[in-house]
Amino acid sequence: MKAVRFDRYGGIEVLQVADVPMPEPSHDEALVKVEAASINPGEAKIREGLLHAMWPATFPSGEGSDLAGVVTKVGPGVESFTVGDEVIGFTDRRASHAEYVVVEAKNLTIKLAKVPWEVAGSLAIAGSTAYASVRAVSLKGGDTVAISGAAGGVGSIAVQLATRAGATVIGIASPANHDWLAAHGVKPESYGTDLVDRLRGARIDAFIDAHGGGYVKLAVELGVSRDRIDTIIDFAGAREYGAKAEGSSAALNASVLAELAALIASGDLEVPIAATFPLDQVRAAFSLLGQGHIRGKIVLLP
């Protein structure tokens, strides 16, 4: 089968699509034929060696966490899924950017028919991160929350979940994404050096930082209580100011995936797809990701 590999840290040039042995499911695992697997900023940082201290790579390394596909084989002990089931899931083995992947059955949930493949394959990391960040700032009806990176893979989901929680949502994003935000009940704000002044009059109760680059400090300057500031990227800022840094690991499980998938199927949640690429164009996919200001998710379709 084909799978993405890299044998050293570096830019997109180190990515290769290699022929590798077909994996076999062990106890409590399923083999899934991958129909869609999104890419994430964290995967690019791991490949570049920027997260070596936290998540070192063992070479040759695969990559990818998100996935959606069809169960083709189950290992001993798997009773929740059968061959032919369409599923959404994730792997923590850096392996979903491939034609097939072995997944622990506990990390899978059934894909509902109304959830498109490319959306299903984008849900695990961005969806769980958005879910955790909204939960972390304890939103309630009448709150006003500002969200940076509001149209990105995580932010575009977080703004919708925050709205569903009853909050007034201010989405900080580039002007090209303002119409999309407004259509989803979000008040758009542009980036800029005067942003803090523009936000002062809004009486911000909570802040979700999905962008990095100083937004934890900005939230503190706005007077937001530090236990209601959550960043998914500025870990140094969270430590410095005593803010939260709850992300994917706080909500990455099959139950949350099922909840989010049900919202998508009912039309109550949209996961925007910026672009799709075949597996052999993985370099192009990460090149697009690196350009920034992408609305929603970029997806590989093996």
pLDDT in tens, 164-178: 999 999 999 999 999
3-state helix, strand, coil in the chain (%, to 5): 35, 25, 40
Average pLDDT over residues 132-142: 96
Please write the tens of the pLDDT for every residue from 197-247.
Answer: 999 988 999 999 999 989 999 999 999 999 999 999 999 999 999 999 998
Q: At what angle do helices 123-136 and 155-164 cross, to 10 degrees?
A: 50
Residue with the larger pLDDT of the pair 88 and 248: 88
Read off the DSSP letter of residue 22: P
Q: What is the pLDDT of residue 53?
A: 87
The predicted pLDDT at position 91 comes to: 98
pTM over 0.85: yes
Asked whether the predicted pLDDT for residue 268 surpasses 90, the reply is: yes
Q: d(Cα 53, Cα 301) in Å, to the nearest integer?
A: 31
Residue 55 has pLDDT above 90, yes or no: no
Q: How does DSSP classify residue 194? A: T
Which pLDDT band, with edges at 50, 70 and 90, does 294 fall under?
confident
Query: Are 165 and 189 contacting, i.e. CB atoms less than 8 angstroms apart?
Result: no
Strands 297-301 and 29-38: antiparallel
Strand pairing report for 66-74 and 86-90 = antiparallel
**Percent of the chain scored above 90 by pLDDT?**
93
